[in-house]
Structure 1
Amino acid sequence: MLRRACHFIDLGKSFCSSVSVNKGSLAKLRKSTGYTFANCKKALQLHNNDITQAEKWLREQAQQMGWAKATKLEGRPTLHGLVAVCVDRATGIMVEVNSETDFVARNNNFHSLVETVASTCFHFMDKKDFDLPLAKFQLGQEELKGLVAGDGRPLADHLALAMGQLGENLTVRRAACLRAGPGAELVGHAHPSHPSQPSQAGAVLRGKYAALVALQGSSPALRQLGRQLCQHVVGMNPAKFGEPGVDEPAADPDEERCMIHQEFLLDPSITVGQLLAVNGASVLGFERFECGEALGSSSVEPPVNLHAQIGG
């Protein structure tokens, strides 16, 4: 539900006072949209108490105001925000959405925008077919804004509306999309974790950090191992996974950036490489997001023919 005090209507001479507003309809419209009493009354008067048309008109007005405010706010630095991860077995995505202040990043309307961006990316990725053990690529700001959400509107419209509501510049900064082939499993984790639907597959987890890990193995505890490895990736920030026999361990364990040689976060008595060997598992790839980090440090690389693979 949208909750705001949004004064986008001119309540002067254009007010249609000749139409009597049904109190039940007014209460229902306010509950379903969260707009002010005056805005809802105006909408019902303009549409003869037709709640559906009144709600549509309200959202159109809000969208126009959102675009107007968004234009004024563009360019202001967005150094705060959240990252979110959404995974369901073979499909996983991470997104970063930024705000100007941490105060807005804690707002429920901002959380709703983050979840809309994450869910839209997930459904977009989930419809794609890849003939690869692990397909992975990134989407930038412009590609993200062009994706169409479940309500039929592009994310650019959702972004503008949120900017109008919250009064800050907001950016959909980036997304990492992974799709695992047969026999592989994707696991995601956010820290600190704030799930939208913790009991459902495909739940959106929000935090300041997030990780995705793709792994293979026959262990019945593979998903649990994957969750632990996600925690390791978030906490230890490895630069790469590494190749046994090729990548030598660092002289100082505290400086180790190769994942297989790092001390396992949850049990420093063993390395990640030893943990995987004991569990008969292997890591196909991983990705980590930290809100506000410098770009260019991501482990995900776009496929050679990006548009051919994600087009449509």
Structure 2
Amino acid sequence: MISSKIFARFVHLQGPCLAAEKSLLATLRKKTGYTFSNCKKALELHNNDIKQAEAWLRQQAQSLGWAKATKLEGRQTSQGLIGLSFNSKNAALVEVNCETDFVARNKEFHKYVEEATLSCLNFAQTQPGDKTIKKISLNSDQMKAFLATDGKSLADHLALMIGTVGENASLKRGLCVKAPSDVHLVGYVHPSGSDGSVLLGKIGGLIALKQLSSKCADLDEIGKKLCQHIVGMNPQKIGTSDDEPAKDKEEEVCLIHQEFLLDDSVTVKEVLDEHEIEVVDFKRLECGGDTVEGVNQPLELIETCQ
């Protein structure tokens, strides 16, 4: 029979230990989001070393993600999001697809789109500048090879995300843009619901503007309004004075001849003239579309990353 003193000592020694283990377990679950049983197993396998346990959990999830990605491969991914990140000289537009709109609203899916977009923006920033706008189109395989902020590839993160959300997803395409010193880039997505460094929506718009004088005090503000127009009105080209305006205003495809979305009493050309700015180029990317819309002449300016 165990004496009361020994029993009391046993309780005294085990109590704080059990409390510490529960605290580690709670911390690991909160940090990773994995199940109680998996977190407990991870801690047991690594003698309660939370860093090693977390690394093991992510390795396991990634392994399961690859297996699930292989199993789900081929299932249609028609939903998803456009990610857009930009500064005045560099921009990246990325499309990531999934099977359902429900997953497109999932936080893990959002995190992946953000990570992919920032990786593409980083790629754009590392490219050498030029006197003209440099545009680099990226396919799925090229983007998958890019490294995320943690040093893992976007392919690895895609597998992990698939394992988490439980349905197929694909990194469809991307576009990187680098502007010369005299051109200013501005972007916008719709619907607009992101305030961070990456904007997420169903349609993304990007515009490259050049000041013809110092009259326009806020290129970002007017640029955003013009991007809203591009997203909403879907022009096919900038247009020139040689382009005759369409007889039916609803069928106008030239940006400069379209009625301005935010004020249909004026045309886009009149807005540009008022602020003494010029549209050098624009892009419009819609989730589920086949091509990057708004690709203007000359097409030779578009480069494909090898």
Using the size of structure 2 for normalisation, the TM-score is 0.88
Q: What secondary structure sits across from 1:224 in the alignment? A: helix
User: 1:75 — aligned with what?
Assistant: 74
User: 2:244 — aligned with what?
Assistant: 248
2:279 to 273, 279, 283: 283
Following TM superposition, by how much is the alpha carbon of 1:306 offset from its aligned partner in structure 2, in angstroms? 3.8
User: 2:8 — aligned with what?
Assistant: none
Rounded to whole Å, the distance in 2 between the matches of 1:196 and 1:35 is: 28
CA contact (8 A) 1:99 1:171 kept: yes
Following TM superposition, by how much is the alpha carbon of 1:173 offset from its aligned partner in structure 2, in angstroms? 0.8
User: 1:118 — aligned with what?
Assistant: 117
Paired letter, 2:272: L
Paired letter, 1:47: H
Distance verdict in 2 for CA 1:298–1:99, change over 3 Å = farther
CA contact (8 A) 2:137 2:304 kept: no
Bigger share in helix:
2
CA contact (8 A) 1:138 1:302 kept: no
Rounded to whole Å, the distance in 2 between the matches of 1:56 and 1:74 is: 26
CA contact (8 A) 2:237 2:294 kept: no
Matched, 1:233 2:227: no
Rounded to whole Å, the distance in 2 between the matches of 1:159 and 1:267 is: 42
Q: Percent identity?
A: 49
Matched, 1:215 2:214: no
Residue by residue over 1:11-31, the C-alpha shift from the partner in whole angstroms, topping out at 9 and shown as x without a partner, is: xxxxxxxx9882222122112
Following TM superposition, by how much is the alpha carbon of 1:221 offset from its aligned partner in structure 2, in angstroms? 2.0
Structure 2's unaligned 5+ residue stretches are: 1-16
CA contact (8 A) 1:137 1:302 kept: no
Following TM superposition, by how much is the alpha carbon of 1:34 offset from its aligned partner in structure 2, in angstroms? 1.1
Matched pairs, number: 284
Q: Larger radius of gyration, structure 1 or 2? A: 2
Counterparts in 2 of 1:84-163, with a 5 A limit? 84-163=83-162
Bigger CA drift: 56-65 or 295-304?
Answer: 295-304
CA contact (8 A) 1:120 1:149 kept: yes
Following TM superposition, by how much is the alpha carbon of 1:196 offset from its aligned partner in structure 2, in angstroms? 4.7
RMSD between aligned residues: 1.9
Counterparts in 2 of 1:157-306, with a 5 A limit? 157-197=156-196, 203-217=197-211, 218=214, 219-244=216-241, 246-295=242-291, 297=293, 299=295, 303=301, 306=304
CA contact (8 A) 1:79 1:100 kept: yes
Paired letter, 1:229: L
Paired letter, 1:104: V
Following TM superposition, by how much is the alpha carbon of 1:106 offset from its aligned partner in structure 2, in angstroms? 1.0
Q: What secondary structure sits across from 2:28 in the alignment? A: helix
Residue by residue over 1:78-99, the C-alpha shift from the partner in whole angstroms, topping out at 9 and shown as x without a partner, is: 1111112111111111111111
Following TM superposition, by how much is the alpha carbon of 1:183 offset from its aligned partner in structure 2, in angstroms? 2.1
Rounded to whole Å, the distance in 2 between the matches of 1:156 and 1:261 is: 43
Using the size of structure 1 for normalisation, the TM-score is 0.86
Q: What secondary structure sits across from 1:242 in the alignment? A: coil
Structure 1's unaligned 5+ residue stretches are: 1-18, 198-202
Following TM superposition, by how much is the alpha carbon of 1:296 offset from its aligned partner in structure 2, in angstroms? 6.2
